[in-house]
């Protein structure tokens, strides 16, 4: 059995525009081993978020192959990719994307109920995860009642709901001040170790990138 979490071969992503075509990712090979951490760095527009979306199965490459846990994501239809993503990939966006009408516990429990957990079981695990991100006193608060750092911690708890194999994070500290950025960084690295998951982060935060096992530098396409 392969130790690779991801094995990507000759990935390219081309966006067609009225005047020309923009190739954001060009002939990229990438292997990520299970249990490792990787930062994606580079200037804005170099394809970090695009690559994350392809790794998550939210987008598909123009050409090339994405193998995740020995499954070729390109061979799956959109529903099958969504099912795999729900079970195996936790995604944390730069903007938390919490549902405003639900409280913290409900936001964390929702992915579990979507994957077949009973409500009571999902809510119990949500409580445990919120405690792990130091929000046991915020389980009943809705996103509008939380600070930016607290909302991001709820999003991190939600990403771990279904015991994923991998966390993908897009600029998780991008909208936070220095103190909260450090808190989130320490929290994520502790949780990755505790939960035994792999981590891939797109970031401009050099202090975060420097604490991960590997770094992939992406460049702007000319």
The pLDDT value recorded for residue 124 is 95
Helix axes 148-159, 178-195, angle to 10 degrees: 20
Closest by Cα among 30, 28, 33 to 1: 33
Could you tell me if 144 and 124 are in contact, meaning their C-beta atoms sit under 8 angstroms apart? no
- Domains of the chain with CATH codes: 4-217 (3.40.50.300)
| pLDDT, position 168 | 93
The DSSP call for residue 204 is S
The pLDDT value given to residue 93: 80
Radius of gyration of the chain (CA): 17
pLDDT tens track for 138-197: 999 999 999 888 988 899 999 999 989 999 999 887 777 788 788 888 888 988 888 889
3 state SS of 37: strand
C-alpha closest to that of 54 among 163, 212, 202, 194: 202
Contact indicator for 10, 65 with CB cutoff of 8 Å: yes
Predicted model pTM: 0.88
First to last CA, the chain: 39
Of the candidates 72, 82, 67, the residue with the CA atom closest to the CA atom of residue 4: 67
Please give the pLDDT value at position 220: 67
């Amino acid at each position: 059995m392969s130790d690779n979490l991801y094995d990507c071969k000759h990935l390219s992503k081309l966006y067609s525009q009225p005047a020309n075509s923009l190739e954001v990712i060009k002939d990229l090979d990438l292997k990520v081993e299970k249990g490792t951490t990787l930062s994606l760095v580079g200037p804005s527009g170099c394809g970090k978020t695009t690559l994350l979306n392809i790794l998550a199965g939210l987008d598909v490459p123009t050409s090339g192959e994405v193998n995740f846990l020995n499954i070729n994501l390109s061979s799956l239809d959109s529903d099958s990719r969504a099912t795999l993503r729900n079970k195996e990939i936790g995604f944390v966006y730069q903007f938390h994307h919490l549902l405003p009408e639900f409280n913290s516990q409900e936001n964390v429990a929702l992915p579990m109920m979507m994957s077949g957990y009973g409500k009571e079981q999902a809510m119990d695990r949500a409580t445990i995860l919120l405690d792990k991100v130091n929000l046991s006193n915020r389980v009943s608060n809705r996103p509008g009642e939380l600070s930016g750092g607290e909302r991001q911690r709820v999003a991190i708890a939600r990403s771990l709901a279904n015991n994923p194999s991998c966390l993908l994070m897009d600029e998780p500290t991008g909208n936070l001040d220095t103190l909260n950025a450090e808190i989130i960084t320490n929290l994520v690295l502790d949780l990755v170790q505790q939960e035994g998951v792999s981590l891939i982060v797109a970031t401009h935060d050099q202090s975060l990138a420097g604490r991960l096992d590997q770094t992939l530098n992406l460049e702007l396409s000319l």
